[in-house]
Structure 1
């Protein structure tokens, strides 16, 4: 599920920039081990930070949701205005969309009384619709060709629904089904490992392998965050939402600074060039 496994023309969409046209940069990082580490850490922060803000700010769930949605909108405007992938802006958007996705699910459950089974199914349908519209429009769901405004809109909409779906599914398994936080971590980790095995050993499509794993990292990270932050009486380790959020944010920040400096999550050709390049003739 790394970038190297996703370079077939069908997976990348096969859309190159004609000679003489303004080159386009992909707006998403290469899928390396750093990508998955930061993604899981962001999902954990999304869970614990949402709980922390709801507890500490005194704005209520709706007020916190509005505040974080505004912050997310500001960062997404900055992300859309960049001409290429920028580690700081991109991962800030992911962290905030993780929080907002959690709050969307929590609002449905806590404020509107929607059962977790129903919200999980609804988010799954919404994500499926986004994927269907994205593929119908662009003939690809690959993150290696998020190089137009329309594709970027589809990408971030899909990311939002993956976080909301993962939150609802994680709560459904850990709490409603009484599996518990620690066992939920193990369960979702095994599910991700199974996707990797099917992909590498049996040739499951790289794009679908990526998106299935992307969805599963959300409940994995959320269950991990709950396990660390929740009181021991509720099956957690009792670190609290503040300590857990600060700890994971510190690690995320360090990794993002490292990637911004080394550019290890961009293609080799982009690192050598340092500027956008037009694909060579015949390059998928």
Structure 2
């Protein structure tokens, strides 16, 4: 069997079960680590340093011509951390309510999808084989994180559902997406991107619930502990997928 040439290889992972597990872990880690950093250090330089790291990691990912598990998930993790900081700055520092930011971020996501679809003719994540499609993909990823973050905080804070209940609401919505996909009501592309948005508030809501103090409706485990545990879990899961991906690629070459 002839292997796919690197220039035409897909540059992002297929949405397997392990993909969704790691995705949820990164959203929770991003939420917890962001909160830990901005409460332990001066927020302004912390956000600036995180922004530099985010841009650097994303630039390396965009330069990749094939899917590299460690690199891809490092980029997703940085989106989670930096995206949380930006969402917090938008709400806390600028005073933009979640009822405003959530629809605005959603419109930005729709705009990315419309431009991507008109330019490339498809939003299929199995066909991210060019630099331009790769760029559209990451623009969509950033927009989904912003949308999901604002939606999660909207339910938990503005609507006063609390983190645990908000998390369960989004889990229920995820289950609905799976049902609609299973019954072919939703196509694979729509189902993927809908689920991608929903995984952000699922992971972030439960991470907040475990980490925040009892006075805020949480279990008071602390953002430091939660971010550390989730980082180890992500590293373990990515190590396993890296080994599997390497074995699969070697088998394809033979």
Q: State whether structure 2 residue 28 is matched by structure 1 residue 44.
A: yes
Q: Is the 8 A contact 1:101 1:161 kept in 2?
A: no
Per the alignment, in what secondary structure is the counterpart of residue 208 of structure 1? Answer: helix
User: Does the aligned pair in 2 maintain the 1:188–1:216 contact within 8 Å?
Assistant: yes
Does the aligned pair in 1 maintain the 2:6–2:66 contact within 8 Å? no
What does residue 186 of structure 2 align with?
A: 204
- In 2, distance between residues paired with 1:98 and 1:22? 28
Distance change (3 Å), C-alpha of 1:46 and 1:274: farther
Deviates more, 1:200-209 or 1:164-173: 200-209
- TM-score normalised by length of structure 1: 0.84
TM-score by length of 2: 0.94
Task: Determine if contact 2:69/2:242 at 8 Å carries over to the other structure.
Answer: yes
Shift of 1:203: 3.4
8 Å contact from structure 1 (residues 108, 114) kept in 2: yes
Correspondence for 2:207: 225
Query: SS of 1:202's equivalent?
Result: coil
Q: Structure 1 residues 23, 153: CA separation in 2 closer, same or farther (over 3 Å shift)? A: closer
Structural mapping, 1:167-206, within 5 Å: 167-206=149-188
What are the residue-to-residue correspondences of 1:1-284 with 2, within 5 Å? Answer: 23-57=7-41, 59-60=42-43, 62-263=44-245, 270-274=249-253
Q: CA deviation at 1:81?
A: 2.5
Deviations 1:120-153 (A, max 9, x none): 0110010010000000000111111111111111
> Take 1:120 and 1:238, find their aligned partners in 2: how far apart are those partners?
27
Whole-angstrom distance in 2 between the partners of 1:80 and 1:125: 24
Structure 2 counterpart SS, 1:238: coil
2-structure distance, mates of 1:153, 1:127: 14
- Residues 250 and 112 of structure 1, relative CA distance in 2, 3 Å threshold: same
Query: Gaps spanning 5+ residues in structure 1: where?
Result: 1-20, 276-284
The answer to which structure has the higher helix fraction is: 2
* Contact 2:6–2:65 (Cα < 8 Å) also in 1: no
CA shift at 1:204, angstroms?
A: 1.1
Separation in structure 2 between the aligned mates of residue 253 and residue 103 of structure 1, nearest angstrom: 22
Asked whether the 8 Å contact 2:105–2:143 carries over to 1, the reply is: yes
Report the Cα offset of residue 271 of structure 1. 4.9
Q: Are the equivalent residues in 1 in contact too, given 2:7–2:65 (CA < 8 A)? A: no
Equivalent pair of 2:14/2:126 in contact (CA under 8 Å): yes
Q: Is the CA contact (8 Å cut-off) linking 1:49 and 1:245 kept in structure 2? A: yes
The alignment's C-alpha RMSD in Å is 1.7
Mapped to 2, the partners of 1:252 and 1:113 lie a distance apart of 33
Where does structure 2 lack aligned partners over 5 or more consecutive residues? none
